[in-house]
Amino acid sequence: MLNLTGAALANSGSTTLEQQRLLFKQAELALSNDDIKQFEKLLLELKDYPVTGYLQYDAFNKNLGQASESDVRQFLSKYKDLPFAYRLLGKWLGMLAKRQDWEGYLEFYDGRSDVKYKCLSITAKLETNKTKNINNEIEKIWSTGYSQPEQCDFAFKHYLETVDNVSDVIWLRIDKAFKARRPSLAKYLARQLNDKDKELVDLWYQAHRHPAEKLPLLSKSKDTPIHRKIIIHALDRLARKDSLQAKERWDEIKIKFQFSTEQEEGINKRIALSAAYQHKAESKQLLQQLPEKLKSDNAHLWLARIHLRDEDWIGLIKTINDMPDRLKTESEWIYWLARAYESAGHAVKAADIYNRLSEKNTYYGFLAADKVNRKYQIKQQHAAAETTYDEQQLLSKSANLLRARELFFLDRLLDARREWFQGIRKLSQQEIKQAASIASIWKWYDSAIKTVAKTSHRSDYDLRFPMPYRQQVMLNVKQKDLDPSVIYGVMRRESLFDPLAKSRVGALGLMQLMPSTARRVAKSLGLKKLKQNEILSVSNNINLGTSYFRTVLNRFENNVSLAAAAYNAGPGNVKKWLPEKETLPADLWVETVPFKETRNYIQAVLAYATIFDKHLGKNVKISSRMDDVKSVY
Whether the CB-CB separation of 378 and 614 falls below 8 Å is answered with yes
Residues 6+ apart with CB under 8 A from 9: 392, 395, 396, 402
Residues in Cβ contact with 289 at an 8 Å cutoff, skipping those fewer than 6 apart: 268, 272
User: DSSP of 6-26, one letter per residue?
Assistant: THHHHT-SHHHHHHHHHHHHH
Which residues face 629 on adjacent strands?
A: 584
The conformation of residue 163, written as its DSSP 8-state character, comes to: S
Residue 70 CA to its chain's centroid (Å): 40
362: Cα separation from own chain's centroid: 21
- Distances from the Cα of 381 to the Cαs of 386, 387, 435, 624, in angstroms? 11, 13, 16, 27
CA distance 439 to 442: 5
Per the CB < 8 A criterion, the answer to whether 451 and 436 are in contact is yes
CA dist 58 → 27, 73, 87, 261, 401 (Å): 10, 16, 12, 60, 20
* Side-chain half-sphere CA neighbours of 339 within 13 A: 25
Catalytic residue among 332, 419, 431, 494: 494
Does 494 qualify as catalytic in the annotation?
Answer: yes
Residue type, 96: L
In angstroms, the CA 559 to CA 567 distance is 12
Q: Specify burial of residue 206 (Cβ count, 10 A radius: 0-12, 13-18, 19+).
A: middle
Contact present, 99 and 72 (Cβ < 8 Å):
no
C-alpha torsion 172→174→176→179, nearest 10:
-140
User: 483: exposed, middle or buried (C-beta count within 10 Å: 0-12, 13-18, 19+)?
Assistant: buried
HSE (side-chain half, CA atoms, 13 Å) at 204: 30
Q: CB under 8 Å to 434, separation ≥6 — which residues? A: 383, 384, 387, 389, 394
Spell 276-288 as b/e; 16+ CB within 10 A means b: bbbbbeebbebbe
Query: 316: burial class by Cβ within 10 Å (0-12, 13-18, 19+)?
Result: buried
Closest-CA residue to 177 (of 214, 210, 205) = 205
Q: How far apart are CA 102 and CA 406, in angstroms?
A: 39
Enumerate the active-site residues: 494
